Structure 1
Amino acid sequence: MSSQPSLRRRYLSDPAFKFFKKVLPPLSETEREAMEAGSVWWDGELFAGNPDWRTLLQYPKPRLSEEEQAFVDNQLETLLDMLDDFDIVQQRKDLPPEVWAYLKKEKFFSLIISKEFGGLAFSAYANSTIVSKIATRSLSAAVTVMVPNSLGPGELLTHYGTDAQKNYWLPRLANGEDVPCFALTGPEAGSDAGSIPDKGVVCMGKFNGEDVLGIRLTWNKRYITLAPVATVLGLAFKLDDPDGLIGDTENLGITCALIPADHEGVEIGERHNPLGLAFMNGPTRGEDVFIPMDWVIGGQDYVGKGWRMLVECLSAGRGISLPALGTAVGHLAARTTGAYSYVRKQFGMNIGKFEGVAEALGRIGGYTYMLEAARTLTTTSLDMHEKPGIVTAIAKYHMTELARTILNDSMDIHSGRAIQLGPLNYIGHHYFGMPVAITVEGANILTRNLMIFGQGATRCHPYVLKEMEAAANTDDNKGAEEFDALLIKHISFATKNVFKSFGNAFTRSRFNHSPVSGETADYYRQLSRMSRALAVTADVSMLTLGGELKRREMISARLGDVLSNLYLASAVLKRFEDEGRQQSDLPLVHYSLQHCLNKCAIAFDGAFNNFPRKGVGSSLRALLFPLGMHFKAPSDDVAVEIANLLMTPGAHRERLTHLCYVGNKETDPVAIMERAFEAMQSIRPIEKKMAVAAKNGQIARKGPLADRLAQALEQNVLTEDEIEQVKKADALRSKAIQVDNFDPSWFAPADTASAGKGKKGKAA
């Protein structure tokens, strides 16, 4: 028996070990730190090929605490009532002073700071909910609130700051005395943050009249949100120690420091113009600026550890803030576009009854359900104190892209109503703003092509990262021994997935486990099949392509799409169970899950068709999908069902769009549409009477409404009370479909028409 392991080593493990050393992609130091910083969560289950659905359903249900709910019901509602997005974006190009003061006073900038330092210490779910609701009212205000609660001084100090730094800065950030920003991105370093050219040199210098150990800094940053108004600047830079003042290493790596904005040499205050939105965003620069060593976040002990600090904290921005903006777009568009599709009429019919409009409405509703599901599942992971870098990358990329599609559909349906900016337009600024969310925290193209599968294949796989570490072991004997044990497990893992995948193809997955019964049961089975197919394809891809897989971004992106859609589908199933299996939500659930399965099939098809090794793609197709891919896009019938749901008031509509702020003022644009929608719904029985009368020849089918109502009264089709009700509803409808126009002075240069600049548009 003792000879078997040695024979296995000799003829299997050791040759494989040498092969792996050659073909597996080497891990750079920044990649290693990124993978070690994150954690594997539900994405690991999906990648391993045998997801335990009971684990998913047992994750905590997202809930606001009593304190968080009270804040949402009171402080948040007060803030939303204060916001006028047209005034903010088109006139002031800034938040009003009273809004800035309220944000500081009520601690909107300290949602993540602990109570010990005067913050609110809210959950990730509460943080996301607050940002989402604000974003349905004003993206500019939402971005202003989300940035201090995302990657920035507050987050970094909380995790890494010295006691002295925490005690000084966190209370000031919590009460709004200081406004923070964090400068990472520069002209030569965007998504590739590891290549930042900004430099610091360890040296002695003067500070407060004394010679102290410190850093001389030069930097040039851009796209920094809140920089124009910040009082404290967080800064990431590369640090060198050429004179060996703090150790034997010259190139110390990325370091983060906290610098008062009024410190000598700090240039701050200029603004960018992010597609016309009004949140504060601008550059910051400094040349040969000396700072003391104790301004490094975490002190001297954290010199060179900035990259790991940033990677660990980036999950918050990717998993909370930007997905919150995407979700907000869904809630806003679903509520308003559904209402508009009922209120607006063409050819005597609600435009939502036209199949072309219904198709887009169905997509809006289905995607919105998916967005809210992904938002709540992703924040659940963060509230479980996970740091799932792959999950948050999936959320950031797909939720902003889904929001972009929703906005396009909403713009198409609203047509001219959406393209004329003015106080009545509730969707236009969001259309301009979504590319901002798509660009920041890692550009979406790179997130999809490099990160989701590129890191996920290594990080989430149960064996590959450990095998890579074994292959990188400088002690070859020890590395080979570790590799041998891992390889046997890996072979067993891969073999099971291959046989189960092949069996799934011929049984239509009917023997896969589902934790529930009913209409959603088969989705669990089919998603398990897709998960196994992904595991097999990932193993084959890494084996045949090795380090080349990094450069094959299109293949990597498609396999990442499979993982992403498995995650989105998981979120939908979890939401449906968490909310009590609401039967009225089933069309939304069916649409979302059919969409995800179809996208998985399309991604597999693209990967197999374009696999760079001859014959590998066709072999995978024959193995995993020998009878073809029978996963169709959502049906027209489901889309029409959803369109009707969005055009019908009720609990289902409230549940789908509960984050959308409506407002109570006469001038609130969403409220104007909502009042018209409710009024038109209230006269449905009356309109049916008129339709029957027109069919019977008692009143005209077409013509001015006033004439037709007069005929209806004369023919005793309607009572005077019913006619009055129709007139009131039609007046609200007419107001809701108008667009704004402006006095010509509005468009004149500011120096010649300052008086006209403050005039609001008039509905026309």
Structure 2
Amino acid sequence: MSTLSAMRKRYLSDPAFKMFKKVLPPLSDTEREAMEAGSVWWDGELFSGQPNWSTLLNYPKPKLTDEEQTFIDTKLEVLLAMLNDYQIVQEDKDLPPEVWQYLRDEKFFSLIIGKEYGGLDFSAHANSTIVAKIATRSLSAAVCVMVPNSLGPGELLTHYGTQQQKDYWLPRLAQGKDIPCFALTGPDAGSDAGGIPDEGIVCYGDYQGEQVLGLRLTWNKRYITLAPVASVLGLAFKMKDPDGLIGDKQELGITCALIPADHPGVEIGERHDPLNMGFMNGPIRGKDVFIPMDWLIGGQEYAGKGWRMLVECLSAGRGISLPALGTAIGHLTAKTTGAYAVVRKQFGTSIGNFEGVAQALGRIGGFTYMLEASRTLTTTSLDMEQTPGIVTAIAKYHMTEMARTILNDSMDVHAGRAIQLGPMNYLGHHYFGMPVAITVEGANILTRNLMIFGQGATRCHPYVLDEMEAAANPDAKQGAEEFDRLLAKHISFAVGNVSKSLLNAFSGSCFNRTPVSGETAVYYRHLSRMAKALAVSADFAMLSLGGELKRRELVSARLGDVLSHLYLASAVLKRYEDEGRQQQDLPMVKYGVEHCLHQCGIAFNDVFNNFPRKGVGRLLRTLNFPLGIHYHAPTDDIAIKISALLMSPGAHRERLTHLCYVGDKADDPVAIMERAFLAMHEIKPLERKLMKATRRGEIPRKASLTDKLQVALDAGVITEEDVKKIENAEQLRQKAIQVDHFCADQFKKASIQPGKAA
């Protein structure tokens, strides 16, 4: 060891090692398993403070295989035409029997099951695309499809099941002979899945006339989607072996089992009523239910390993299904709100011409572009066989929150058209259903405040997790030596980040590298600056707060917001490059990235102002933004340009809304609005002729449309063919802006009677 290294170890590393052991955030077993599960992907690049943008742009472009595209073009289109969301939600409170049968027959429940077991074995991108398209038509139907293809028996069996379990269950699930559900959440354990009270005690019991080793289970679960119709349930519980029948460990930990729904003692079939939506959801209970040991998923070998299994498999729900629902909201609202803003008129002009409406349309279009970009980037990670828990948590939280924002915008623009439920209303049920996506797979408050930065700070940091492991090494000497080596690298890393952060502040980020030229080049430079500032702030937060950082949720949440918006902006830039730099998309790109930079600035400002150690907060502001934070929200001009794009048909609008289903039936509500929109766009030149003639005094200003058209025809301003086009467009417009009404007797039907609390 050199003299310099010895001095560093004596005067720096050893004291730091002792301090680090004191401030080391204590990790529970479940936290450690969560940290170790999954992988670090682009989030790690961002957290390093020096993201390699070429790495991002070189990730594979999202692409469907021929088989996947054929399925979407044929079988999915048939399904979408079968769905009547008003009937599902308001009348039947369930999918029609023929839809259930079609889902079984065409393997919609086996998108992720391998072909060797009769499944489709589709990519994460295809899975997400299918769920999103269904969700634009019916959230209830989408939920029924997504659950078997995310966290559930199918995925757990595929990754962890014994060969015997796979051979028996996977073909049955693939063929639709069995409908699965997964019971995790209970009255006292929702987001805190590690605290579930449900127990399984190892014992001997009677099974098929023989005494076999197994478990006696007691559980009480709720909010379980598909439970009322499920024929097999996955169950998560805490496994205990008080008599040492399978080893010397009494508390084995969370374990997963697969149980037929008709097994004696299983109480299943009752329903919850989740915001009056039509999908199946209900409680499951069991008391002293005996199951044989080989019903554990993975067999006895996986006893106590359920938490890691769940954490790794949660990525599908967080990264595929729920972001797909959020993206569907974007595609639906962008297509219908842009159309409605043209079709609906006030004060003699389309409401989209008012700047207040245009601002909402701009946000809808900008967020929809970002939602689709984030959906495809996140599924790319999963299709690269990555399991990035932080990335999928970012996608789940921010994409469902963005969807909530633009759904509110769409409701505002539609106004009364959106609040009257009926077959014509294509927004109301989505408005009711959006909180479902926000609350499941970890409530959004938990995801933002505890998961994204709380786990990301340790998991994605280049050195902290290794330093924690070195500090926890039972061999103190070996641990100290490893810590010294890591600390030297960490110091160099931190000093480099601080100096570059200051350079960014005084140079306007102009020295940061960018992989592209043109109008988006500046965005890469500024995002690199934000990444550098995040790396500096994360180091100081962990150093100054130590284990206390876990309890400082608002600090965690805001630093997590920075990481999240860096990821979302990355997705926007990658989509722009992947799709060939479509110039008409540039306003959406600018809106997305500038929104993300602005949100990063807000988050940093709030961190500095509210940091528990006031001096540290002021120091962080000085090191990162000594001249102030000057990132502004997207300008009004950008929003108005986007609104104009949404209100005009063309390839640009189709790229933005391609997942939104538009049926060909006469009573399809989205199709009714779309037909009126296209007809109104076609007669725009004729409307301009009439307007000019009115200004010249050739047509009276205050007259019915019929009278105006007759005067214009007589004056030779328009032809008889023009009159027919205008009258046809007006008929379609009038139909599109109508709302449903019902006989009073329809509201006298008996309502659902509540049963006992479950």
Name the TM-score class by shorter chain: over 0.9
**SS of the residue 2:206 aligns to:** strand
Give the equivalent residue in structure 1 for 2:76: 76
Give the equivalent residue in structure 2 for 1:564: 564
Deviations 1:14-52 (A, max 9, x none): 000001111121111111100111100000000000000
**SS of the residue 2:216 aligns to:** strand
Matches within 5 A, 1:445-594: 445-594=445-594
Deviations 1:280-329 (A, max 9, x none): 00000000000000000000101110001000100010000000000000
Matches within 5 A, 1:5-44: 5-44=5-44
Q: Distance in 1 between matches of 2:29 and 2:255?
A: 15
Q: Structure 1 length as normaliser, TM-score?
A: 0.98
Q: 1:101 to 1:506 in 2, by over 3 A?
A: same
Give the equivalent residue in structure 2 for 1:150: 150
Mapped pair 1:256 → 2:256: yes
Q: Distance in 2 between matches of 1:743 and 1:100?
A: 31
**SS of the residue 1:740 aligns to:** coil
CA positional deviation for 1:615: 1.3
CA positional deviation for 1:5: 2.3
Q: 1:705 to 1:615 in 2, by over 3 A?
A: same
Q: Distance in 1 between matches of 2:604 and 2:701?
A: 53
Q: Distance in 1 between matches of 2:224 and 2:269?
A: 11
- The letter of the residue matching 2:126 is A
Give the equivalent residue in structure 1 for 2:669: 669
Matches within 5 A, 1:718-757: 718-750=718-750
Mapped pair 1:216 → 2:216: yes
Q: Is the 8 A contact 1:48 1:462 kept in 2?
A: yes
Q: Distance in 1 between matches of 2:491 and 2:688?
A: 68
Matches within 5 A, 1:325-404: 325-404=325-404
CA positional deviation for 1:751: 9.3
Give the equivalent residue in structure 2 for 1:405: 405
Give the equivalent residue in structure 2 for 1:759: none
**SS of the residue 1:239 aligns to:** strand
Q: Distance in 2 between matches of 1:124 and 1:29?
A: 30
Deviations 1:394-436 (A, max 9, x none): 0000000000001000000000000000000001100000000
Matched length:
752
Give the equivalent residue in structure 2 for 1:608: 608
Q: Is the 8 A contact 1:189 1:195 kept in 2?
A: yes
Matches within 5 A, 1:81-96: 81-96=81-96
CA positional deviation for 1:549: 0.6
Give the equivalent residue in structure 2 for 1:599: 599
Q: Distance in 2 between matches of 1:36 and 1:537?
A: 24
Give the equivalent residue in structure 1 for 2:438: 438
Identity of aligned residues (%): 75
Deviations 1:456-488 (A, max 9, x none): 000000000000111111111111000000000
Mapped pair 1:619 → 2:632: no
Give the equivalent residue in structure 2 for 1:46: 46
- The letter of the residue matching 1:190 is G
**SS of the residue 1:317 aligns to:** helix
Q: Distance in 2 between matches of 1:702 and 1:22?
A: 81
User: Does 210-219 or 693-702 show the bigger shift?
Assistant: 693-702
Deviations 1:546-567 (A, max 9, x none): 1111111111100000000000
CA positional deviation for 1:614: 2.1
- The letter of the residue matching 1:536 is V
CA positional deviation for 1:714: 2.0
Give the equivalent residue in structure 1 for 2:427: 427
Q: Distance in 2 between matches of 1:701 and 1:435?
A: 47
Q: Distance in 2 between matches of 1:703 and 1:506?
A: 64
Q: Is the 8 A contact 1:24 1:542 kept in 2?
A: no
Give the equivalent residue in structure 1 for 2:755: none
Q: Distance in 2 between matches of 1:527 and 1:355?
A: 30
Q: Distance in 1 between matches of 2:751 and 2:159?
A: 50
Q: Distance in 1 between matches of 2:51 and 2:702?
A: 59
Q: Distance in 1 between matches of 2:474 and 2:42?
A: 33
Q: Distance in 2 between matches of 1:263 and 1:547?
A: 46
Deviations 1:129-151 (A, max 9, x none): 00000000000000000000000
CA positional deviation for 1:670: 0.3
**SS of the residue 1:601 aligns to:** helix
CA positional deviation for 1:7: 1.9
**SS of the residue 2:466 aligns to:** helix
**SS of the residue 1:258 aligns to:** strand
Q: 1:438 to 1:751 in 2, by over 3 A?
A: closer
Q: Distance in 1 between matches of 2:381 and 2:360?
A: 32
Q: Is the 8 A contact 1:559 1:604 kept in 2?
A: yes
Give the equivalent residue in structure 2 for 1:115: 115
- The letter of the residue matching 1:273 is D
Quote the RMSD (CA, aligned, Å). 0.9
Deviations 1:203-246 (A, max 9, x none): 00000000100100000000000000000010000011111110
User: Does 471-480 or 483-492 show the bigger shift?
Assistant: 471-480
**SS of the residue 2:406 aligns to:** helix
- The letter of the residue matching 2:40 is V
Please list every run of 5 or more consecutive structure 2 residues that lacks an aligned counterpart in the other structure: 753-758
Give the equivalent residue in structure 2 for 1:704: 704
**SS of the residue 2:661 aligns to:** coil
Q: Is the 8 A contact 1:151 1:313 kept in 2?
A: yes
Q: Distance in 1 between matches of 2:347 and 2:414?
A: 16
- The letter of the residue matching 2:313 is C
Q: Distance in 1 between matches of 2:377 and 2:339?
A: 28
Q: Distance in 2 between matches of 1:315 and 1:488?
A: 34
- The letter of the residue matching 1:46 is L
Q: Is the 8 A contact 1:359 1:643 kept in 2?
A: yes
Q: Distance in 1 between matches of 2:242 and 2:92?
A: 49
**SS of the residue 1:741 aligns to:** coil
Q: Is the 8 A contact 1:367 1:406 kept in 2?
A: yes
- The letter of the residue matching 2:183 is A
Q: Distance in 1 between matches of 2:105 and 2:317?
A: 23
Q: Distance in 2 between matches of 1:730 and 1:280?
A: 41
Q: Is the 8 A contact 1:335 1:657 kept in 2?
A: yes
Deviations 1:508-529 (A, max 9, x none): 0011000000000000000000
Matches within 5 A, 1:79-228: 79-228=79-228
Mapped pair 1:694 → 2:670: no
Mapped pair 1:60 → 2:55: no
Deviations 1:79-135 (A, max 9, x none): 000000001100011000000000000000000000000000000000000000000
Q: Distance in 2 between matches of 1:475 and 1:29?
A: 20
CA positional deviation for 1:588: 0.3
CA positional deviation for 1:701: 2.4
CA positional deviation for 1:749: 2.5
Q: Distance in 2 between matches of 1:531 and 1:252?
A: 41
Q: Distance in 1 between matches of 2:576 and 2:694?
A: 44
Q: Distance in 2 between matches of 1:463 and 1:548?
A: 19
- The letter of the residue matching 1:423 is P
Q: Distance in 1 between matches of 2:77 and 2:442?
A: 32
Give the equivalent residue in structure 1 for 2:652: 652
**SS of the residue 1:189 aligns to:** coil
Please list every run of 5 or more consecutive structure 1 residues that lacks an aligned counterpart in the other structure: 753-764
Q: 1:541 to 1:132 in 2, by over 3 A?
A: same
Q: Distance in 1 between matches of 2:724 and 2:169?
A: 62
- The letter of the residue matching 2:163 is D
Q: Distance in 1 between matches of 2:432 and 2:363?
A: 21
- The letter of the residue matching 1:3 is T
**SS of the residue 1:275 aligns to:** helix
**SS of the residue 1:233 aligns to:** strand
